[in-house]
Structure 1
Amino acid sequence: MRKLIGPLSGKLALYCSDASISRYLAAQSWNVKKAAKMLKASLKWRLDFMPEEIRWDDVASEAETGKIYRSNYKDKHGRPVLVMRPRCQNTKSLEGQMKYLVYCLENAVVNLPKDQEQMIWLIDFHGFTLSNLSIKVTKETAHILEDYYPERLGIAILYDPPKIFEPFWKLAKPFLDPKTASKVHFMYSDDPNSKKMMEEMFDMSLVESAFGGDDKADFDVNKYAERMREDDEKLSSFWKKDDNSASNAQLTVTADPSLEPTNSDSDSEVLDEKVEKPSLDVDEEESSIEETLPGSNSTNANVKAV
C-alpha cells in the first residue's frame, strides 16, 4: 500500500497511519490495488474539502435543532455514538448539510479511544415522515461514508423506523456489501429483543429516552456548543502533531517514481493526476427505490463496505 501511495508529507502522512491503511484494505477485501486507489481518492478529497479545518462556528447553524450530535456517552466497547434525528432537518443546503456531517464524523474520529476505529449511529425515527426523506442527501451521505470513511461504522441502529422502511430495505439489501448490510439493525421500542440488544450495548441510564434510556433531557445547543469548541481545540492539537517521523518513514519506501512528489505542492498535483475522483450527480433524478437508503448505489455499482 505504501509503495503504491508513494511518499506523503504533512497531514496526509499523518492520516495514513497503519490503522487507516488497514481500514481501506478491509473495505476492499484486502485487494491492495483497489485499496490504494480508494485511499488516494480520499487523500485528494481531503486536500480539496479540508475536513480537518472545519470548526463549530462554521457549522453551528446546521446543528441548532440537534439533527446530528455526538452523545456524551459511548457504547460498552468505547465507541463514540452519533445520534441522528431526520425529523429535525432545518436547512436545504446540500453543501451545508454535508459539511456538518463531515464535521460530526471528524469529531467522532478524534474522540475514538486508542483501541477503537469505529463509531455507532443511533437514528431516531420518531416523528419521521416521507417529507424528511431526501434522495440527494442520502446519496451524498452514502458517497462520503463509503468512499472517504471506510470501516468507520460499527453499527447503525434504526430505532422505531416507519413500516414503509421495511420494503425499502428488502429491495436495497441485495445490492449492498454483506458486511455493510449486517451492520444495520432495525429496533423497536415495543420489541423485547430490541430492548435486550440495547441493554447489551449501552448503559441505558445514560441513553436518551427516545431510545428507551433514562436520560430525559432535551438537546441543548448552547451546552453542545461548549463541548464542540473544546473538541475543536483537541482536533487542532491532533493535526499539529509532529508528523516528521511518519513522513520520513514513508519516504524510505521505494515508491513508483510516477507517484513521487517533486515540490512542496506536489501532493495535490500527484493526486490530481493519479486519482480518478469519484463523481456523483446529486441533481440527477432517481427513480430506483433502493437508492433512497443510506449506503445504496445503482444495481450495477461495486458497493464498498462502510
Structure 2
Amino acid sequence: MALRLCSSFNHPLIAPNVSVGTTHRFRKSSVRSCIPEAKESRKLVLEVKEKLEKEYHSLPVGRNGRDDEDMIFWFLKDRRFSAEEAVSKLTKAIKWRQEFGVSELTEEAVKVVAQTGKGYVHDFLDVNNRPVLVVVASKHVPEAYDPAEDEKLCVFLIEEALSKLPAGQEQILGIVDLRGFGTENADLKFLTFLFDVFYYYYPRRLAQVLFVDAPFVFKPIWQLVKPLVKSYASLVRFCSTETVRQEYFTEETVPKSFCD
C-alpha cells in the first residue's frame, strides 16, 4: 500500500482549529485532504495539464497559464486532488486572469487610486513570516472612483503581496483598519468581490483577515456581508490595534499607523 502524507484539515474557506461538525464529516474531509505521494501527485499534475491542453487549447500558456505546473498543483491541492474539480476551477481562474488583464497591471496603472492610501502591502512580514496586505477602510469612498479601478488596485496588491512570499510560506495576512469607518465607506459589492477573488482565483492564499477596531456602525454591515462570503467568514477576526501590535508584529515591524 502506497504511503500517503496527510496534511492537517485546512479548507480554503475554513480557518485552522475551527470545528467542522460531526466526527464523521471531519474524518471524511481529513481523508480527502490527504496529499498523494510525489509520484502520484506528479501524475495528477500531468493529467490536468494534458486535459487543459486538449480541451482548452486557447487558454494562454506560461506563468499562471494552462501549462504552469506549480499553479496546477496548487489548484489540485485546493480541490483535494480531484483532477476534474481542479480543471474546472483552473479554467475559470485562467480565463479570469486573461480577461481582467492581471499580467498587465502595473504601479502606473493603479497609481491614481493607490495614492488615496486605501490599500498597500506592508514593507515587513508579520511574526508568522507572512506578507501583509493592509486596507484602510476610512479612505475608501465608493463614489469617488470607478469600481473597476478599485478592483484593479485590489488585484494588483494581492499579486504584490504574493510576490513577497518567502520560501516555505504560502499565505498572506489581510488587515482591514476600520478606525474612522462610516456609512459613506460601506461598499458591500467591493467586499464581496474581494472575498470572491480569494476563493475562486487565489484559493487558500488568505490565512486570516483582521478587522481592527470595528465601530458600532460596521457590525450590521458585516451581518449583511457574512452570509454572502459563507465559510470565508471563519477567517475573520475582530481585534484591537493593541492585538495587532502584540500578536502579529514586533516593535520594529509593526505598520506605523498601528503604533499610536
Q: TM-score, normalised by structure 1?
A: 0.59
Q: Decide whether aligned partners of structure 1 residues 54 and 198 sit closer, same or farther in structure 2, where only a CA change above 3 A counts.
A: same
Partner residue of 2:158?
A: 105
| Contact kept? 1:26, 1:151, Cα under 8 Å | no
Partner residue of 1:187?
A: 239
Which structure 2 residues correspond to residues 108-257 of structure 1 after superposition, within 5 A? 108-169=161-222, 173=226, 176=229, 178=231, 180-189=232-241, 195=243, 198-211=245-258, 213=259
Which structure 2 residues correspond to residues 25-40 of structure 1 after superposition, within 5 A? 25-40=76-91
State the SS of the aligned residue for 2:122.
strand
Report % sequence identity: 28
The letter for the 1-side match of 2:124 is Y
What runs of 5+ residues in structure 2 fail to find an aligned partner? 1-47, 55-59
Larger mean Cα displacement after TM superposition, 65-74 or 131-140? 131-140
| Whole-Å separation in 1 of the counterparts to 2:67 and 2:126 | 25
Partner residue of 1:55?
A: 106
| Contact kept? 1:157, 1:185, Cα under 8 Å | yes
Q: After superposition, what is the alpha-carbon deviation per residue over 1:210-249, rounded to whole angstroms, capped at 9, x for unaligned? A: 43x3xx6xxxxxxxxxxxxxxxxxxxxxxxxxxxxxxxxx
| Contact kept? 1:52, 1:106, Cα under 8 Å | no
Q: Decide whether aligned partners of structure 1 residues 100 and 6 sit closer, same or farther in structure 2, where only a CA change above 3 A counts.
A: same
2:68 matches 1:11: no
Counterpart of 2:127 (choices 60, 65, 76) is 76
| Whole-Å separation in 2 of the counterparts to 1:141 and 1:172 | 12
Partner residue of 1:286?
A: none
Shift of 1:134: 1.5
Q: After superposition, what is the alpha-carbon deviation per residue over 1:248-297, rounded to whole angstroms, capped at 9, x for unaligned? A: xxxxxxxxxxxxxxxxxxxxxxxxxxxxxxxxxxxxxxxxxxxxxxxxxx
Shift of 1:142: 2.6
Partner residue of 1:234?
A: none
State the SS of the aligned residue for 1:2.
helix
Task: Answer 1 or 2: higher relative contact order, Cα 8 Å, separation at least 6.
Answer: 1
| Whole-Å separation in 1 of the counterparts to 2:226 and 2:236 | 10
| Contact kept? 1:70, 1:80, Cα under 8 Å | yes
The letter for the 2-side match of 1:102 is V
The letter for the 1-side match of 2:238 is F
Q: Decide whether aligned partners of structure 1 residues 12 and 65 sit closer, same or farther in structure 2, where only a CA change above 3 A counts.
A: closer
The letter for the 1-side match of 2:69 is S
| Contact kept? 1:122, 1:158, Cα under 8 Å | yes
Q: Decide whether aligned partners of structure 1 residues 108 and 33 sit closer, same or farther in structure 2, where only a CA change above 3 A counts.
A: same
State the SS of the aligned residue for 2:208.
strand
| Contact kept? 1:118, 1:151, Cα under 8 Å | yes
Shift of 1:112: 1.2
| Whole-Å separation in 2 of the counterparts to 1:31 and 1:113 | 28
